[in-house]
Structure 1
Amino acid sequence: IRKIKSIVPDKIIVADTKTADAGDVEVEIAKLGGANIMTVLGIMDDSTIHSAVKKARELDILVQADLINVKNVYERAKELKQLGVDIIGFHVGLDVQKSRGISVADLKSEIRKVSELDLLISIAGGLNKDRILELIDLPVSIYVVGGAITRSKEPKNVSKEIVNILKGR
């Protein structure tokens, strides 16, 4: 994180820690590295999330709850809001994408419903330019694109295409 921050000091840096325990410690580590946002697993015990949020407020860093493997995303998102989480992250992991043949684009109705809670929304899992175009009208603040870029023979061009789609939003 420190290396990235030194290259682009004016950019928002997310430490995708997917914290499962010791939320306060993980926030401190992310902040020391220069991150602006850290992630905690939304499925974890409320005490872990509370610990992360409390420390994040002290250190001026945002907390994103990753909803990977959460069964009732709306109900959990309501609880996470009460715990003080800043961002709700919809995430369909690689294993689920492969085994069930779905991506985050299949969660449109859930994304729309959770967005009514007035929290920032992040999405990840199988995103590419076509799926982003499918989701562009949803109230999403953060698009996490991985494989579409890293598996491309022209990652710079793919990145530019995606950025241009989002800029045109």
Structure 2
Amino acid sequence: MRSDIVDRLKREKFLQVALDFIDINPAYKVASEVADLGNVIIEVGTPLLKSEGIRGLIKLREFRNVILADTKTADAGDVEAEIVAKGRADIMTVLGAMDDSTVESAVRRAKELEILVQADLIGVKDAVERAKELYKLGVDIVGFHVGLDVQKRRGITVADLKEEIKEVGKYGIVSVAGGLTAKSVLGLLDIPISIYVVGGAITKSHEPRKVAEEIVKILSSRTIPMR
């Protein structure tokens, strides 16, 4: 399963729907509307994970999609990998700004448990250099992430980081998150990105399935550019 997911991520583009709720019921409702669209990763967002824990992960495991637990691990990487495994998720996240020992701990245990590790670059000053280091440490995916607070304060989204994303995409699988919409996804199609994380544009819409369907259709028109 682990190698199958990696192989697909190297070839195909995926929509990751970020379920940043604090209650499982609306999260489950959105997931049920988008799960069957194809190439959809369901993200159990950090607020939902903190609120609902392993039970929330297991509930969303009812869908056959790839499930990402946005743990944003900052310490005890091996322990948090075990939590993710108990919830039967496929991918966990670790903060790329943390010490190498935390990343290595998460990677080591996650591999034993057949879980992928994504390093989140939120808060990292030199994204390109740190991404190279993180790939060497064994992470499967590097995620560019412009957080909500930065979006509000600086008025930027992940779509403003094209050059850094292009450079990091030469070295491994890339995910992007932060203020993405169908329109901004269009502007990122020709960059080596495997995962496009969309939250509010889908979850706050009156028609989440329609928005997700539009993005999936856009992504299906492209494969990953050759590195």
The TM-score bracket by the shorter chain reads over 0.9
Q: State which of 60, 80, 98 in structure 2 corresponds to 1:4.
A: 60
Unaligned runs of 5+ in 2: 1-56, 223-227
Aligned-residue offset at 1:153: 1.9
Once the two structures are superposed, residues 10-38 of structure 1 have per-residue CA deviations (whole angstroms, 9 ceiling, x without a partner) of: x1110110001110011111111111110
CA root-mean-square deviation: 0.8
Give the distance between the partners of 2:155 and 2:204, measured in 1 at CA: 18
Q: How does 1:7-156 map to 2 (within 5 A)?
A: 8-9=63-64, 11-117=65-171, 119-156=172-209
Give the distance between the partners of 2:209 and 2:132, measured in 1 at CA: 38
Identity fraction in percent: 64
Once the two structures are superposed, residues 80-139 of structure 1 have per-residue CA deviations (whole angstroms, 9 ceiling, x without a partner) of: 11111110000000000111000000010000001111x110000000000000001111
Give the distance between the partners of 1:102 and 1:165, measured in 2 at CA: 23
- Amino acid in structure 2 at the alignment position of 1:16: D
SS across alignment from 1:135: coil
- Amino acid in structure 1 at the alignment position of 2:79: V
Higher relative contact order (CA 8 A, sep 6+): 2
- Amino acid in structure 1 at the alignment position of 2:74: A
Once the two structures are superposed, residues 56-100 of structure 1 have per-residue CA deviations (whole angstroms, 9 ceiling, x without a partner) of: 111111100000010000110111111111100000000001110
Aligned residues: 166
Give the distance between the partners of 2:131 and 2:145, measured in 1 at CA: 13
Q: State which of 215, 220, 223 in structure 2 corresponds to 1:162.
A: 215
Give the distance between the partners of 2:75 and 2:145, measured in 1 at CA: 19
Unaligned runs of 5+ in 1: none
SS across alignment from 1:18: strand
Equivalent residue number for residue 20 of structure 2: none
Give the distance between the partners of 1:141 and 1:82, measured in 2 at CA: 19
Query: Which stretches of structure 1, 4 residues or more, deviate above 3 A after TM superposition?
Result: none
SS across alignment from 1:65: strand
Aligned-residue offset at 1:155: 1.4
